[in-house]
């Protein structure tokens, strides 16, 4: 079963680090689906934003268990993709 780009790219990350990377290195950060690989992420970004992707780096952050009052709650796992674009391409995420 082939996934659509809407299923792979969940949302852009607008943290201080991600905004700084987009301005300095032309690298954008996205939260992506847990099972997506780099090739699927590259194709989804190129299709959704019509840009040329040079490099995709991924990072997985496992959710921590926190205590909220008497309950213990596990936060969800997050998979991030850092996408470097070709010179002259850019994505307007705001």
Output the pTM of the full model: 0.86
For every residue of 8-21, DSSP letters joined together read: HEEEE---HHHHHH
Query: Domains in the chain and their CATH numbers?
Result: 5-85 (3.30.70.330)
What integer pLDDT is reported at residue 54 of this predicted model? 96
Task: Choose the weakest-confidence range: 2-6, 39-43, 89-93.
Answer: 2-6
Report the C-alpha gap between 49 and 35 in whole angstroms: 21
Structure tokens at 12: 């852009």
**Within 13 A of 83's CA, how many CA atoms are on the CB side?**
30
Contact 68, 87 (CB under 8 A): no
Indicate the pLDDT class of residue 1, thresholds 50, 70 and 90. low
Contact 15, 44 (CB under 8 A): no
pLDDT digits (tens, 9 = 90+) for 16-43: 999 999 999 999 999 999 999 999 999 9
In the predicted structure, residue 92 carries a pLDDT above the cut 90: no
């Amino acid at each position: 079963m082939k996934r659509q780009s809407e299923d792979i790219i969940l949302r852009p990350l607008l943290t201080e680090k991600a905004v700084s990377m987009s301005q300095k290195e032309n690298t954008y950060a996205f939260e992506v689906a847990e099972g997506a690989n780099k090739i699927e992420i590259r194709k989804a970004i190129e299709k959704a934003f019509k840009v040329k992707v040079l490099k995709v780096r991924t990072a997985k952050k496992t959710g921590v268990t926190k205590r909220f009052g008497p309950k213990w709650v596990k936060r969800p796992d997050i998979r991030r993709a850092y996408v470097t674009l070709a010179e002259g391409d850019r994505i307007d995420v705001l």
